Structure 1
Amino acid sequence: MVEAGPVLPARIPQFGGHQKQLRRVCECWIAGRSREEEGIFMMVFPRKIKGKSERRAEASLNRRNPSLTLQVTVVAALCCVFPGETTAESFDKLVKPLLQKYCFDCHGADDPEANLSLHLIDGDLIGGEHYETWRMIEEQIRFRDMPPEDENQPAPEERRALLTWIRQELQKTQRAGVVTNEKFLLPQFGNYVDHQALFGERLSRVHPAPPRIWRLRPAIYNATIPRLAERVSGLANGLNLLDGPEIKDYAASYFLDEAATAPLLGNAKKIAEKMTGPTSRDRVLKELARDTGPPETKAVLLAIEHAFRKILGRAATEEELIRFKAFYDKAANIGGHQTAGRALLTGVLLQPEVLYRQELGDGKVDEFGRTRLSQREIAFALSYALSNAPLDEFLKASAAGELETAGQVAMLVDKRLADQSKLQDRNPRVLQFFREYFHYPFAKEVFKDKPAGGDHDSGRLVDDLETTIRDILRADRHVLAELLTTRKFYVNTNYKNVKRKGQMLVIAHEKRTAYHTAYNLPLDWKWSLHLQPVSFREDERSGVLTHPAWLSAWSGNFENHPVQRGKWIRTHLLGGTVPDVPIGVDARVPELEHTTFRDRLKIATQAAECWRCHKKMDPLGVPFERYDHYGRYQRLDAGQPVNARGEITRTGVPGLDGRKVSGPTELMEILAKSEYVEQVFVRYVFRYFMGRNETLGDTNTLQDAHKAYRDGNGSFKALVVSLLSSDSFLLRQKKQAP
């Protein structure tokens, strides 16, 4: 058993930044309002925010909690590992020899690559001229983009020493954002954590993430309105989600700025007016704005308690009852009881719990500095992991004290995941994982002209693929392998709720178009329920990556995109990394008649500086030239026979590296049998349900999850149960471990 290293003390959020942002928006919103309303809203968001909460704003909290491996590096750097030496001495003794050994061949004085010469660089980052160059060097070494893979590599201890020196000198400049830690919190940088270490020797215990607050995703916020049982129209949603092919709901990716908060404030005002208005069905809250005069104290306290239960799903504390009652009284003195009633509800609707998930722990710290989430926090975490609204079974279990142990959590999650429905819609977040992982719904965003001899309907293709995925999830056996190799796909067929008959497999669209030609089915193909799902030849289709929906999503408007397809395989199945296209690079593929796209791509990427990255992607992506950009199987491209050969390289995995493939179906068969690919898949599932990247401290959790998946014969359900009952999910590192 080994230790993962020390963990820095976590910052505990107090929502000060949240309140400060809302107050600034309120100041803008009440411009031109009555003095009474201005006074009321300034009481909701007082000018002075006490204590340390201002320095603990939500954005700072989630963006400045580095991963475990990076924390160790930062500690080493800040402790100054070069005692007694000046910057110049340590630069000459350690850094310059390493630059000469590994960098000067390409970045020396004569004809340096990328016009970057390092032969005159010095170690003075504060007063020198090379600060930006050192920042770039640190990032390139940190992300292992330099030296290139085919060049001589520094030993691990050399790389660590060089990075430590650079980071120490960058810290001395006291400039903002001098190190790249924050990037490792984002989903596109998850693969930079060493895979062999994660699935190698186990740790003595899990080192979980620090406490955090997590801005709600839009779907959860939208679910709040139906829960209030009020039909309110014209509401805006200031909670965005990132575009792109990465996992969307990450704690580190979002914060509330004024642009996002303004519509939320407007929503709260509209909802409060509706809840107290004449058409409201809530008699308790209507009392706050009745026409017959101010309500009695008992009615106000009852309304506060009722509002907390209805909006926040919990009882108000004694302190909250006193504070909100005092606020109501002051507001009533300024603007009358009706205005005060609406302001009171607006204040409840803008409580941090409405906009944030809290994962702070129950306050009890174990001998390793870890705290367990409170049972209420666990109930909401489980609910939002599987659904987009609080789930009664988890909330009731927390109230009854039945979420105290990991075993109790596992039992409840297992019961919740027992979904044998055709639609597999009991836990919508499960299917959503596969949408975000494979990114196939993006096919709807890729415009394409109508093809000759058929039609293209991306929406129907996406629906077809989801019907297949639902079947695989319901069977729950060898899920990843089935997704990568199935040769059975539904065509114009979906599961639907049929009145008096339940969920049934039916024709999706009675008015049929010729979009089925995307599957290479003949133009006059006749739909029949007993033919569903349609079986395709072994050499024609094999899994999600050969389905027209995925192929369309990972294509251009008019041509294939083997680079992006290869990059997806490199990152999502092989756990590799590929840097972004450098600024200023002309990434266009030349237009040449009678030349296949593969050959034109080779011309565009044959330069050494291009092939350095393309060799990670293109050999994996060009096998999919077997299909055109509509997803149709093709034997000719530009009048020439299609060359669909490819190769698996640079994985570091015996049995995978050097494997040559004749086409996409053979590639999928090989990857589907790889334990290494399974482990990479487990890492992506971890990120999705945890809302963060894995660290070395999560080693045991990942290994246990992979074992649960294998022991369950490839059960996705068993994998999710293992993750949601793990220490990584249930614990937070509150103090530095002894």
Structure 2
Amino acid sequence: MMTLRTIACVSFVVAAYFSLQTPTLVADDSTTFQSLAKPFLAKYCVDCHGADTQEGDVAFHELNGITADNVRLWKSIWEQVAVKEMPPEDETQPTLEERQQLAEFVIAGLQRALKEKGGYHEHLHPSKGNLLDHDLLFGDLPENLEPTSSPSRIWRLHPHEKFTRLNELVTIEPPYNPEKPGARARGDHVPTDSKTGTNIYLGIHDVNDWVGTAFSLHHSLKNITPILSTKVKRGLQNYPYLYSVNSSETLRIASDAETILRFMAYGPDVKHFQLIDDVSEVDEKHRGISIYKGRTILTKHGVPEGVFYNRKSKRPITPVYDLMAKPGVDDERLKAAVDFLFEAVTLRPPTAEESATYLGILKQSIEDLGKEEGAILGLTPIFLDRAALFRTELCETGTPDEYGRVMLQDQELVLAINAAFSYIAPDEKLKQAFEGGRLRTREDVKREVTRILNDDSIRKPAILRFFREYFDYELAAKVDKDDRLLKQAGGLKTSKAHRIAMAEMTTNTDRLVELVLAEDKDVLAELLTTDRVVLPEDSRNYGYLAEMASNGKTVGKPVVPASSKRSSLVPQQAEELPGIIVDNHHAKVTGKWTQSSLAKDRVGENYLISEVEGNEKAKALAPLQAKNLPGIVVDNPDAKVSGKWSDSNGITNRVGSEYLLSRTAGSKVVYPVSFPRAGKYEVRMTIAQHANRASQAVVTVRHKGGKETFRINQRRAPGTFNKPGSDGYFQSLGSFEFPAGQWDAVEISCGGGGGLVVADAVQFLPPGVSGETGQETEHAAPREKSKLVYPVTFPKAGRYEVRFSYGKHPGAYIATLVTVHHKNGETVFRLDQRGKGSFLKRGSDRYFQSLGYFDFPAGQWDAVEVSTEKGDISKYEQASSAGKYAVADAVQFLIAGTPQVRDEQPKLVKSSGGEIVHVRLTEYHEISKRESSDSALRSSSERHLVRLPADQRKGILTHPIWLVAHSDAMDNHAILRGKWIRERLLGGAIAEVPITVDAMLPDEPEKTLRHRMRVVREEQCWKCHRKMDPLGLPFEMYNHAGLFRTTELGKPVDSTGEITDSGDPALDGPIDNALEMIDKLAQSKRVKQVFVRHAFRYWMGRNETINDALVLQDAYKAYVDNEGSMKALLTSLLTSDAFLYRKVR
């Protein structure tokens, strides 16, 4: 019987076979060791590496060719000669042609020598592209240069492309909106959410409401994550030779295919009560709670049963649905499902043979397993078809020209053009051009490429992917910063929050890139020098674009133009709101309530506040003395203390004059006791509770039978367990058997709970001895209970949504008791009145907290009650303050089905300066912010586009996103930044670091990075570091969080540097800072040419060769002649021989 595993394994073998078809470089017969390499070595190398002198213990005089035993030496020779480290600069230098001839000889020799050992492919890696000298490509063309082409190959899909194809199967994305050109549209890549990552959520567009927070929704929905991976961390990633599909990826694809197919056939996998037309249909027992193992519990993580879906699905209805919706099977529906699915995942129709093959598999599977299981399993192999994972460029049917080249044709040409821009199926006009025979010549290709480039509705994520990989800015979200150093640098408090901010900045930088591409003028120079930036959604993150002053304060945050700020809240009026409104003036008041109008998120002139019961201060317990207590008491002065502890006496319910505090891991206090006789003793310990204590202090009792470990919450008063044995001072741990004599009975240690651990006194009580202290808390006299009852007259019986308004008053209580009295009984809530939307978020807004839907009778009814009764606030123990005021304003009753017309969230207003742009949001981000299933989004795709100070920032290289991406956990990374400048802008290359090099800077936090980098000035290091460090150190005008600075460690920051050996004499020379360097680079002819080289590599999927020189020169000319147009550059590249022709022999 066929299984997912057998399907996966067979498909993996097929995929692996085709992925290994990589091009080889065959040496010309004349390029032999004797005629080329040996004379080169004799002329330029053996004086230092010969029989008499062997610098670095390296000798060449005995080399007779390339073998498997000396490949490492030859690779080093090739690399050192290519980067011009050999011969030394004070020796006679070979010509560029001689260097290139040696490189070709070495590469061909390495391929032959390693043919039986897996082959040699390193020269194909993106990092080796710059080893071909720039001047060879942009100088005079060699005579008799053979026309270029790319090797015939199979190109594995990029992970983003594969993921976007799968998303098309389960999601209907909105069409392109020219009014919001940056907002997500069909054809865009699946965005990454800054908090939850990259996901396809099945059925998310059908979600009507859910229980819990947005985080609960993430955990409750079935989701799929990207499967395919990339091997290159930095730089261009998508070279065909790099990838196959491994066995674990294949199994994941098969598993996800089953999940997707079931969703396509049946929709979300839900219980019957989760399908609704309106949230008012949700049964009361399912509101405000999550269901888990038959019980109803409060949870922030959510469960699948806590999500409610619209009965009428918005998912794509496909032939897979048609197949499963009707009983039985027939060939027409089976074939329709096969053909649809094949084209959906491969972007081309199946051939007759392919269709018949998969139809046979499907029929056999249904025959073996039955329709429901058999259809799902039988369709799964289509997801593993070679064409679903790879794009072929084999040119198997064409006639080779005199150079062994064949032009791409038919579906291979269609998909190659499409893949240059898009991740989804080719647009209809491209398909029609192919079907009508109008896609056969270079001019045909140019017509279609030009049309696609000029059509904004055709989304082009492949172009955006190039700039992400070229600048590497998306890597910022993967740099895990040290929390303490991050905060010192002006960043957010935690690395997690920082990475979330960087993920959002990645999306915002995408939009900036697209704005520059839309302008299509001097694209590279504009990206390098623009003073524009798209600000984060949260203004708290604006500090990353500010300045770190010498006093450690963040100053100069970007200012949002007044014309685009959100309007402030103003009180609402009851008569302007829908439904029935009962304001606090019409409520029945008991006890003491006070009017207030401090908060603006209210209805009417004011709201009421009343102090919560139990907040009256009790008389503090006085410290106890050990000698006055019963039993055996061991106080902390008599304990064995190890690690770091400090004294404190701020809490009075203690024993003795002080207690000990520590948060240092490994610190512990051991309590020795001398038992007068063996027997059972009750063990009790004092806690001295406080909000800053550990919630899981580790306490171990060592008794006669072994040991028992407790996790004590020292934020709460004694009595969280063993309450009868505990009192205001002591927490009872229970009774244990101990032997007579000396015994280390109790140990308190640090290591859990995230707070201060208290070690005070431990008491041992023999049987029959009470721990009564004689001192109890003396509470203030009770006052009259305060409550507010909202009476309402319902015009008719029915189901109403109840929404409660309360001002966000200073000191609001975190667990205010609110009771809804309805026809079926009562439902009690504890509301955190510090905000709204803590549950039923989509029914809540900035004025009202939804309490859900309830049935009420017609006529007069006391529907809602607000009380000052104090509640259990243990789940809020992390809160800095519990607050003390219950707040009550108005209650709104909306009959089920009434449009929920509420305060429209203030929108950003576009000013004449055009500072509002749109960014891509995930469906999860959008829906989790929606107020109700029929309301507008609370979270807008609108962002601020502002200009930054010209004396502080200039282009992407000075934005926090790039600076952080080129930093490490604790500091700047001048070497990495300099390497980027050398390789991506100057076209230079850096030799690989020998494995014997200890690439570590000294750990000297009191010294500047520039000072610590003195160690790389040593001769063996400097020959490489001289190419990077002077280019990276000018960015020291920013710290590792990306904030601008003028001082470092109390002294003026040194941001000087130098451009050397650039290949352009006009560029070389000292520079004062990064801004000056960027200005010079942005205007450089060489820099633009190097940019063209990188574009060539990305769209051709390979490194350039000498045969590509004409293509590169033409592309550069097109770019420059059209004022730095990316469209012109791409048109030139995508109509070149390198793109259109494949070498087949």
Report TM bin, short chain: 0.7 to 0.9
Distance 1:96 1:628, change over 3 A: same
Distance 1:107 1:267, change over 3 A: farther
Q: Which residue of 1 aligns with 2:245?
A: 256
The answer as to 2:887 corresponding to 1:475 is no
The answer as to 2:765 corresponding to 1:353 is no
- Looking at structure 2, the residues matched to 44 and 523 of structure 1 have their Cα atoms a distance apart, in angstroms, of 56
Structure 1 residue 713: deviation in Å?
0.9
Distance 1:594 1:480, change over 3 A: same
Segment of structure 1 superposing worse, 536-545 or 224-233: 224-233
- Looking at structure 1, the residues matched to 104 and 533 of structure 2 have their Cα atoms a distance apart, in angstroms, of 55
Q: Which residue of 1 aligns with 2:139?
A: 200
Which of 561, 572, 583 is residue 528 of structure 1 equivalent to?
A: 561
Q: Which residue of 2 aligns with 1:3?
A: none
Q: Which residue of 1 aligns with 2:419?
A: 384
SS at match of 1:75: coil
Deviations for 1:466-501, whole angstroms, at most 9, x for unmatched residues? 454333222221111122222x233636xxxxxxxx
- Looking at structure 2, the residues matched to 167 and 538 of structure 1 have their Cα atoms a distance apart, in angstroms, of 47
Retained in 2: the 8 A contact 1:647–1:661?
yes
Segment of structure 1 superposing worse, 218-227 or 139-148: 139-148
AA of the residue aligned to 1:643: D
Q: Which has the higher contact order (CA 8 A, sep 6+)?
A: 1
SS at match of 1:357: strand
Which of 668, 677, 680 is residue 1078 of structure 2 equivalent to?
A: 668
Retained in 1: the 8 A contact 2:79–2:991?
no
Taking structure 2 as the reference length, the TM-score comes to 0.51
Which of 961, 970, 995 is residue 549 of structure 1 equivalent to?
A: 961
Q: How does 1:651-730 map to 2 (within 5 A)?
A: 651-656=1062-1067, 658-730=1068-1140
The answer as to 2:302 corresponding to 1:266 is no
SS at match of 2:1070: strand
Which of 163, 186, 190 is residue 222 of structure 1 equivalent to?
A: 163
Q: Which residue of 2 aligns with 1:613?
A: 1024
Which of 421, 444, 464 is residue 408 of structure 1 equivalent to?
A: 444
Deviations for 1:300-321, whole angstroms, at most 9, x for unmatched residues? 4454444444444444333334
Taking structure 1 as the reference length, the TM-score comes to 0.77
Q: How does 1:147-226 map to 2 (within 5 A)?
A: 147-149=87-89, 151-154=91-94, 176-177=116-117, 180=120, 182-202=121-141, 206-226=147-167
- How many residues are paired up? 653
Structure 1 residue 699: deviation in Å?
2.3
Q: Which residue of 1 aligns with 2:23?
A: 65
AA of the residue aligned to 1:264: I
Q: Which residue of 1 aligns with 2:28?
A: 76
Structure 1 residue 617: deviation in Å?
0.9
Structure 1 stretches lacking a partner, 5+ long:
1-35, 83-89, 494-507
- Looking at structure 2, the residues matched to 592 and 44 of structure 1 have their Cα atoms a distance apart, in angstroms, of 53
SS at match of 1:714: coil
- Looking at structure 1, the residues matched to 112 and 352 of structure 2 have their Cα atoms a distance apart, in angstroms, of 48
- Looking at structure 1, the residues matched to 351 and 138 of structure 2 have their Cα atoms a distance apart, in angstroms, of 45
Retained in 2: the 8 A contact 1:624–1:664?
yes
- Looking at structure 2, the residues matched to 470 and 282 of structure 1 have their Cα atoms a distance apart, in angstroms, of 33
Retained in 1: the 8 A contact 2:983–2:989?
yes
Distance 1:479 1:260, change over 3 A: same
Retained in 2: the 8 A contact 1:375–1:401?
no
Retained in 1: the 8 A contact 2:990–2:1024?
yes
- Looking at structure 2, the residues matched to 328 and 561 of structure 1 have their Cα atoms a distance apart, in angstroms, of 55
Segment of structure 1 superposing worse, 253-262 or 641-650: 641-650
Segment of structure 1 superposing worse, 97-106 or 253-262: 97-106
Distance 1:96 1:262, change over 3 A: same
Segment of structure 1 superposing worse, 520-529 or 344-353: 520-529
- Looking at structure 2, the residues matched to 319 and 560 of structure 1 have their Cα atoms a distance apart, in angstroms, of 58
Which of 48, 52, 61 is residue 105 of structure 1 equivalent to?
A: 48
Retained in 1: the 8 A contact 2:548–2:1045?
no
Retained in 1: the 8 A contact 2:986–2:1090?
yes
Structure 1 residue 348: deviation in Å?
2.4
SS at match of 2:476: helix
Q: Which residue of 1 aligns with 2:836?
A: none
Structure 1 residue 610: deviation in Å?
0.5
- Looking at structure 2, the residues matched to 168 and 296 of structure 1 have their Cα atoms a distance apart, in angstroms, of 57
Distance 1:420 1:288, change over 3 A: closer
Retained in 2: the 8 A contact 1:596–1:640?
no
Structure 1 residue 615: deviation in Å?
1.0
- Looking at structure 1, the residues matched to 1000 and 543 of structure 2 have their Cα atoms a distance apart, in angstroms, of 32
Segment of structure 1 superposing worse, 438-447 or 331-340: 331-340
- Looking at structure 1, the residues matched to 1056 and 5 of structure 2 have their Cα atoms a distance apart, in angstroms, of 67
- Looking at structure 1, the residues matched to 362 and 373 of structure 2 have their Cα atoms a distance apart, in angstroms, of 9
Structure 1 residue 207: deviation in Å?
1.3
Which of 507, 517, 532 is residue 489 of structure 1 equivalent to?
A: 532
Deviations for 1:412-463, whole angstroms, at most 9, x for unmatched residues? 3333333679xxx932332332222111222222225444484445425545
Q: Which residue of 2 aligns with 1:242?
A: 231
- Looking at structure 2, the residues matched to 98 and 705 of structure 1 have their Cα atoms a distance apart, in angstroms, of 36
The answer as to 2:260 corresponding to 1:319 is no
- Looking at structure 2, the residues matched to 168 and 205 of structure 1 have their Cα atoms a distance apart, in angstroms, of 18
SS at match of 1:708: helix
Retained in 2: the 8 A contact 1:690–1:729?
yes
Structure 1 residue 164: deviation in Å?
7.3
The answer as to 2:17 corresponding to 1:37 is no
Structure 2 stretches lacking a partner, 5+ long:
172-201, 204-221, 269-314, 493-497, 564-912, 916-944
Structure 1 residue 519: deviation in Å?
8.1
The answer as to 2:410 corresponding to 1:371 is no
Distance 1:118 1:634, change over 3 A: same
SS at match of 2:546: helix
Distance 1:428 1:526, change over 3 A: same
Structure 1 residue 336: deviation in Å?
5.1
RMSD: 4.0
Structure 1 residue 275: deviation in Å?
5.0
- Looking at structure 2, the residues matched to 592 and 283 of structure 1 have their Cα atoms a distance apart, in angstroms, of 63
Retained in 2: the 8 A contact 1:207–1:697?
yes
Distance 1:615 1:337, change over 3 A: same
AA of the residue aligned to 1:215: R
Distance 1:649 1:260, change over 3 A: same
Q: Which residue of 1 aligns with 2:891?
A: none
Distance 1:125 1:315, change over 3 A: closer
Q: How does 1:389-468 map to 2 (within 5 A)?
A: 389-393=424-428, 394-418=430-454, 426-446=459-479, 447=481, 449-452=485-488, 454-456=490-492, 458-459=501-502, 461-462=505-506, 465-468=509-512
Retained in 1: the 8 A contact 2:489–2:1043?
no
- Looking at structure 1, the residues matched to 54 and 131 of structure 2 have their Cα atoms a distance apart, in angstroms, of 31
Deviations for 1:189-235, whole angstroms, at most 9, x for unmatched residues? 11122322222345777411022111111222222233334748454
The answer as to 2:1052 corresponding to 1:641 is yes
Retained in 1: the 8 A contact 2:130–2:983?
yes
Segment of structure 1 superposing worse, 527-536 or 382-391: 527-536
Structure 1 residue 683: deviation in Å?
1.0
Structure 1 residue 139: deviation in Å?
5.3
Retained in 2: the 8 A contact 1:285–1:303?
yes
SS at match of 2:1033: helix
- Looking at structure 1, the residues matched to 1042 and 72 of structure 2 have their Cα atoms a distance apart, in angstroms, of 45
- Looking at structure 2, the residues matched to 491 and 292 of structure 1 have their Cα atoms a distance apart, in angstroms, of 54
